[in-house]
Structure 1
């Protein structure tokens, strides 16, 4: 081969390799999902019980009921192509289009706020569903702060979970749509830019909070969202920081039932699971099921309660030694746990 041709081919090959290597560092519009931490809803986090029940008899529990989470790369992270390719080849990560996690136009802050709101809603549904399963009915409802807008007038003053008792002298005596309409109307009566005073209950203690307002289409707003929560004959509170989304609802409901009944639902075993829940006990689909089953296995679980609609996806990457149990409702989950305690095989995915 002539020397000039050999040099040309060598240089061309070097350039091609350089271009290929450079391409691996080019950012692509993908996000990474990984197995996140798991939490025993019957236990504590940093010394604080995840589920606290006061005002009625509770029972000791054994075993673990573990809710599972998914780790997600931040919205601002620019994933290199090489990392995406490695993730596609790994069974312990999932690479998905970033827009499926962070819709166009939604910031990380907005995503976090939405996840917090969904967690709050799921906790209220979990309490209602769990107590309904025990034939305990609500005695009323109340209006609570669901979220506070960062940088808004109420930031640092009102908090998610505050029960609104009064707004500028207007007593809020009920929940539901009526109570929420009362809160909204009382705020809008204030001149935009003026102060508004709330009487709230926070951690069981009543206090007065004054905040400014901002102008929104000629009406006053304080930068909060509100929702109605049921009131029961005793108090059930759920505390878990820095975890959002609705997918822990079923496991919280099971944890509440376990604490309120003499039967140890797990029979001393480590049981993990996931699924949204509504007030009627219907269990719904969630995202990231394959990462959650891996997290469950790593936490020592041998039984995993999965929403029926997620079963096919869960089985596609089923970790060895983890039994996938199919559930459509809270009753299904309770019946499956009874099977587990009795050494029977529950309905499987």
Structure 2
């Protein structure tokens, strides 16, 4: 065998070896891809994403879709990672940026789900506040072995305890602190717009004087109807903006879309400010797949969104829920919304 043949043979063997290793050797990266979209005005498997109890939902058309990012399960191979770096519809990121090493994958999923539930709460607060419903002390849940079990329910707005008005949580705490534990009190409340009263035998407080009703409360706008949001297998806070708009469209006076297909993303805080999110370019691809006519982009993501490949639809820059509503009004009127 000549030296040339020997070198060529060795080279071929090494190429084959590296090719095999490249397809099997895992690397500490994951691939993010465009995830499913969810029309907040629509259903998932026959169940509405936003359901309303206590009144009829508005009869609306159009689409207000929240967009998501999917994440590959398990480590990528070297070959797949390299391919992903050259694919506009894949984002290859360090695994630790998605699954922090100091907590389990299950803990990460749980934290993301809790963030989504918090965004639901903020969306309701913003939407109902914008519609003019008054802020009250609203029951969010009951503690284990709560003395209010069977008397109060999630969504009840507390009006008074033993005739003393409770317009905010601080006043409620003061009233309960003045009542010895084990006392029977009368609690006045509003449920789905209807007033009611119940008697509750309080539990003694453990870390202060007075009584406990065994409830978790939050100050938020209280409407004569309940809003319930159901989207399984979605985590993180980035759905907040689109959930807010969905509620406004379903119970407000204005048709927000005029039948158009609108997609978007962004966190929402209780003051109506829209915050940036991750994966904006991938979410724009997801919006393309459903034929979006407008995409709502958090102001903090505008530079990244503008640098992505042209999606074929306008990008509306939104820093607040008011910006989003103006963009929808512009689209319906045939005007170009303020962009990135």
For the aligned pair, the TM-score class normalised by the smaller chain equals 0.7 to 0.9
Worse-matched range after superposition: 21-30 or 305-314: 21-30
Whole-angstrom CA distance in 1 between matches of 2:84 and 2:172 = 49
Out of 319, 326, 330, the residue aligned to residue 328 of structure 1 is: 319
- Stretches of structure 2 that go unaligned for 5 or more consecutive residues are 153-157, 159-167, 174-215
> What is the TM-score normalised by the length of structure 1?
0.75
Aligned mates of 2:111, 2:240 — CA distance in 1: 16
Name the residue aligned to 2:163.
none
Change (3 A) 1:178 1:164: farther
Distance 2:258 2:130 in 1: 19
Paired position in structure 2 for 1:240: 231
Aligned-partner SS, 1:11: helix
- Cα separation, 2, equivalents of 1:348 and 1:168: 51
Number of aligned residue pairs: 281
Q: Which moved more, 1:44-53 or 1:169-178?
A: 169-178
1:20 positional shift: 2.3
Which consecutive unaligned segments of at least 5 residues does structure 1 have? Answer: 144-162, 181-225
Structure 1 residue 231: Cα displacement: 6.2
Determine whether 1:274 maps to 2:265. Answer: yes
Quick one: distance in 2 between partners of 1:57 and 1:139?
Answer: 23
The equivalent of 1:148 in structure 2 is: none
In 2, Cα distance between equivalents of 1:18 and 1:227: 64
Instruction: Please show how residues 1-349 of structure 1 align to structure 2 within 5 Å.
Output: 3-24=1-22, 25-56=24-55, 58-74=57-73, 77-143=74-140, 163-164=141-142, 167=145, 169=147, 228=218, 230=220, 232-233=222-223, 234-349=225-340
Could you tell me the TM-score, scaled by structure 2's length?
A: 0.77
The 1-side partners of 2:148 and 2:241 are apart by 37
CA contact (8 A) 2:50 2:246 kept: yes
Deviation at 1:179, TM superposition (A): 9.2
Q: CA deviation at 1:165?
A: 5.6
Give the SS at the match of 2:249: helix
**Distance 1:108-1:134 versus aligned 2 partners, 3 A rule:** same
Return the alpha-carbon distance in structure 2 between the equivalents of residues 38 and 309 of structure 1. 21
Does the CA-based 8 Å contact 2:241-2:321 persist in structure 1? yes
Alpha carbon RMSD of aligned pairs, Å?
2.4
**CA separation of 1:47 and 1:170: change in aligned 2, threshold 3 A:** closer
